[in-house]
Amino acid sequence: MLLVEDDRELVELLSRALRDEGYSVDVATDGHRGLHLALTRPYDVVVIDRGLPALDGLELLVRLRARAVRARALMLTALGTVHDRIDGLDAGADDYLVKPFDLDELSARLRALCRRALELHDVLRIGSGHLDIAQREVALPDGERVPLTAREFTLLRVLATYPDTVHTRPALRRVVFPDASSPSIVDTYVYYLRTKIDRSVVHTVQGLGYRLGAL
């Protein structure tokens, strides 16, 4: 996630809260830095304050959409009139939250945006195989197709959507298993995927988490 906000007290509060929820967070305190980061690094979600120094948040979002940056965007601002919200949505925002706001509401909106970020593909590559989104099954290199349960599918879809990302266990629990109480639920479903498909399908990054493997 990229947080573009010039209020340093709010930046400290939000970045700490978001990291506690399992997000990996980069911070920019002006529009130019936010533009540079968003154009050079892949993000699921960008949270943008509208009143930024150097480059206004609205103009920043317009430039990102003009450069085909597809990250989901939430506009976070004190400007809350209907006209302001329309301007933000027309500029390319997926959601608009007015300050002051409740942290729980922000978290819920970000979870929704992360879920929507997963809806961009019909087929996702897994080495020489692929994940068929419509059929919810994995096509292996030899042509065999392996059906997945709903949770197996969602976990593998997250990994395959961001194949170069190391996903921490807290982040995967938050996105894939939001209602689960077991701290080992991610490990359990990684085991299921490896048993059902192949051990190479999910790679363990020691001390950090998991990333997509290659069939």
pLDDT digits (tens, 9 = 90+) for 77-127: 888 788 888 888 888 899 999 988 999 999 999 988 877 766 655 678 898
Q: Where would I find the beta strands (DSSP E) of the chain?
A: 2-4, 26-28, 45-49, 72-77, 95-98, 123-126, 129-132, 137-139, 145-147, 202-205, 209-212
Q: What is the pLDDT confidence band of residue 22, given thresholds at 50, 70 and 90?
A: confident
3-class secondary structure, 90: helix
Q: What is the mean pLDDT of residues 183-210?
A: 94
Residue with the larger pLDDT of the pair 116 and 155:
155
Q: What is the mean pLDDT of residues 176-198?
A: 92
Domains of the chain by residue range: 2-118, 122-212
Between the alpha carbon of residue 9 and those of residues 14, 106, 196, the distances in Å are 9, 17, 47
Domain 2-118: give its CATH code.
3.40.50.2300
Which architecture characterizes domain 122-212 according to CATH?
Answer: Orthogonal Bundle (1.10)
Over residues 48-70, the pLDDT tens digits come to 998 899 999 999 999 998 887 87
CB 120, CB 160: distance < 8 Å: no
pLDDT at 118: 62
Residues 6+ apart with CB under 8 A from 193: 148, 152, 155, 156, 201, 202
Percent of the chain with pLDDT over 70: 97
CA dist., res. 78 & res. 98, Å (int): 5
Rg (Cα) of the chain, in Å, rounded?
19
